Amino acid sequence: MKCRVKVDTRVVIGTLDRRCYGQFIEHLGECIYGGIWVGENSKIPNERGFRLDVLRAVKELNPPLIRWPGGNFASGYHWIDGVGPRDKRPKSYDMAWGAEEPNYFGTDEFIEFCRLVGAEPFIVVNAGNGTPEEAAHWVEYCNSSRETYYASLRRRYGHEKPYGVKLWGVGNELWGEWQVGFCKDGAECARRTVEFANEMRKVDPNIELVAVGCEDPEWNIEMVKEAGKYFDYLSIHFYDFDNKPYRELVAIPIDVERRLKDVYNLVQSVRRKYGVEREIKIAFDEWNVWYPEAKAPLLTQVTSVKDAIFTAGILNMLQRLCNIVPISNFAQTVNVLPLIIASSDGRIVLTPQYLVFKMYCNNKGANVLRTFTDSDLYMSSSIGEYVPHVDISAMLSEDSKTLYIYALNRDEEDSVELQIVLKGFNPKSGMQQFISGESVDDKNTFEDPDRVKIEEARIQVTEGEVRVDLKPHSVNVIRLVD
């Protein structure tokens, strides 16, 4: 196949907020214990209790943002149980997942983990069976420099300087009956959000808040109408549970893009109608594929090249939606629906989805560009529209000297000769990174950990035009340097 794409570097649609490449970790299965945290006395190599191989793998992603402690777990988590000397912390019962929580990994460990991997912390408070007062105390513990009780408690536990946590979530999925302390409707959640936001901002008026939203218009209308002046982002979650055929799966990001736009447009309409002056954007703070094999309590699955194509489609979509969806969190980083699979015998596997994040997060464009793509199409029955075989997003570096083109070839059989026509940019050299594998079902396992890997190739460039070969079922990052 042949595909032609036009990129005009003079037409900028927005600036990328790198928090759209965020990660999510929850006290669920072996994500935290055995994945991120093994303790100082573990036989598995560790750095102050953090599992070293996982720590290095996460750091290589350059994650901009990490969301914690949940997820469903957050709605029953009481943060005070997870601070202080670890040998004196109480064990508690996790009602969300029916597990025993040792509380070895708490606020201070989370902040240290974020610092070790270079990420901004995003903390979700317990708005299920917790209280506004408890949440405000957590903000004080993390952010206050006063001589008050919870700020002094942080100093007593060895952390003199405030953590400066900017981003806070007010609850998780409170629209769901599986959630501890769920709300019966959006009006109830809005009232609860106001109460939490009011007390949390009295401690630190500079924090940003993510409120619970969903794809129910009535819920979102109530949230924005009654609480819109109190929060900055509305949370939306998405999992694909259906184990779809390949072509249907890789079409899903197009439908997700449409749905996120619908939510955002509704939010703006409600803001206008009810005079809500505070700007509200979308936090897409849980998303992934979820296969039938991923069952409680561990929720482990081994994803393949087709899931890498899906993942890159979501990331391309988030780049295009940079003006309305600045925050996103992949669910989850380690062992639970994972990017990284870590075993108890000290081995790890990096999935094709991990490789996609590694390519995207380490190619640092800044300004998102408008692109025009002429690609062959196929019909998707699941989303009810034609889908281009080739999906393109493009970004220009802040200094305007490097152009990044993110290109997916969805076709499972045919390669694509991609012709890139450039305006406002004259590259002198080019490099292509890509992942493909021999089949859409190729995956990395403990027995064959490098079956799918990142490969590289040089690109021949001529004035104003670049031609690149896209392998079948491939994710490509094309870097062009002026």
For the entire predicted model, the pTM comes to 0.97
118 with 141, same domain? yes
Q: What is the mean pLDDT of residues 367-375?
A: 96
> What is the domain range of residue 159?
17-361
Other CB atoms within 10 Å distance of the CB of residue 111: 19
Q: In whole angstroms, what is the distance from residue 68 CA to residue 102 CA?
A: 16
Whether the predicted pLDDT of 377 surpasses 90: yes
Token output for 440: 């859409």
Q: In whole angstroms, what is the distance from residue 428 CA to residue 475 CA?
A: 23
Q: What is the pLDDT of residues 235-292, one digit of tens each?
A: 999 999 989 999 999 999 999 999 999 999 999 999 999 999 999 999 999 999 999 9
| Residue 358 confidence class, pLDDT cut points 50, 70, 90 | very high
* CATH number of the structural domain spanning residue 224: 3.20.20.80
Q: What is the pLDDT of residues 432-453, one digit of tens each?
A: 999 999 999 999 999 999 999 9
Left, alpha or beta for 363 (phi > 0: left; psi -120 to 50: alpha)?
beta
Q: What is the pLDDT of residues 111-148, one digit of tens each?
A: 999 999 999 999 999 999 999 999 999 999 999 999 99
285 with 409, same domain? no
State the chain's maximal CA–CA distance in angstroms: 67
Whether the predicted pLDDT of 39 surpasses 80: yes
Amino acid at 273: K
287 with 403, same domain? no
Q: What is the pLDDT of residues 286-311, one digit of tens each?
A: 999 999 999 989 999 999 999 999 99
In this prediction, residue 301 carries a pLDDT of 97
Q: In whole angstroms, what is the distance from residue 284 CA to residue 450 CA?
A: 31
474 with 326, same domain? no
In this prediction, residue 338 carries a pLDDT of 97
Q: In whole angstroms, what is the distance from residue 307 CA to residue 435 CA?
A: 12
202 with 57, same domain? yes
Whether the predicted pLDDT of 321 surpasses 90: yes
199 with 60, same domain? yes
3-state SS track over the chain: CEEEEEEEEEEEEEECCHHHHEEECCCCCCCCECCCECCCCCCCCEECCEEHHHHHHHHCCCCCEEEECCCHHHHHCCHHHHCCCHHHCCCEEECCCCEEECCCCCHHHHHHHHHHHCCEEEEEECCCCCCHHHHHHHHHHHHCCCCCHHHHHHHHCCCCCCCCCCEEEECCCCCCCCCCCCCCCHHHHHHHHHHHHHHHHHHCCCCEEEEECCCCHHHHHHHHHHHHHHCCEEEEEEEECCCCCHHHHCCHHHHHHHHHHHHHHHHHHHHHHHCCCCCCEEEEEEEEECCCCCCCCCCCCCCCHHHHHHHHHHHHHHHHCCCCCCEEEEECCECCCCCEEECCCCCEEECHHHHHHHHHHCCCCCEEEEEEEECCEEEECCCCEEEECEEEEEEECCCCCEEEEEEEECCCCCCEEEEEEEECCCCCEEEEEEECCCCCCCCCCCCCCCCCCCEEEEECEECCEEEEEECCCEEEEEEEEC
426 with 378, same domain? yes
Contact 269, 220 (CB under 8 A): no
327 with 391, same domain? no
Which of 332, 361, 390 marks a domain boundary? 361
Contact 7, 423 (CB under 8 A): yes
326 with 395, same domain? no
How confident is the prediction for the chain on average, in pLDDT?
A: 97
Radius of gyration of the chain (CA): 22
Q: What is the mean pLDDT of residues 230-235?
A: 98
Which of 344, 361, 378 marks a domain boundary? 361
Q: In whole angstroms, what is the distance from residue 455 CA to residue 359 CA?
A: 10
168 with 308, same domain? yes
Which of 309, 327, 361 marks a domain boundary? 361
Q: What is the mean pLDDT of residues 367-394?
A: 96
Contact 472, 436 (CB under 8 A): yes
Under 8 Å CB-to-CB from 42, ≥6 apart: which residues? 49, 51
What's the total number of domains in the chain? 2
Q: In whole angstroms, what is the distance from residue 345 CA to residue 48 CA?
A: 19
| Residue 364 confidence class, pLDDT cut points 50, 70, 90 | confident
253 with 285, same domain? yes
* CATH number of the structural domain spanning residue 413: 2.60.40.1180
314 with 422, same domain? no
In this prediction, residue 464 carries a pLDDT of 67
Amino acid at 180: V
Whether the predicted pLDDT of 206 surpasses 80: yes
In this prediction, residue 463 carries a pLDDT of 76
Q: What is the pLDDT of residues 76-114, one digit of tens each?
A: 999 999 999 999 999 999 999 999 999 999 999 999 999
| Residue 460 confidence class, pLDDT cut points 50, 70, 90 | confident
Query: Which residues does residue 374 pair with via DSSP β-bridges, in sequence order?
Result: 4
Report residue 247: phi and psi, to 5°: -65, -30
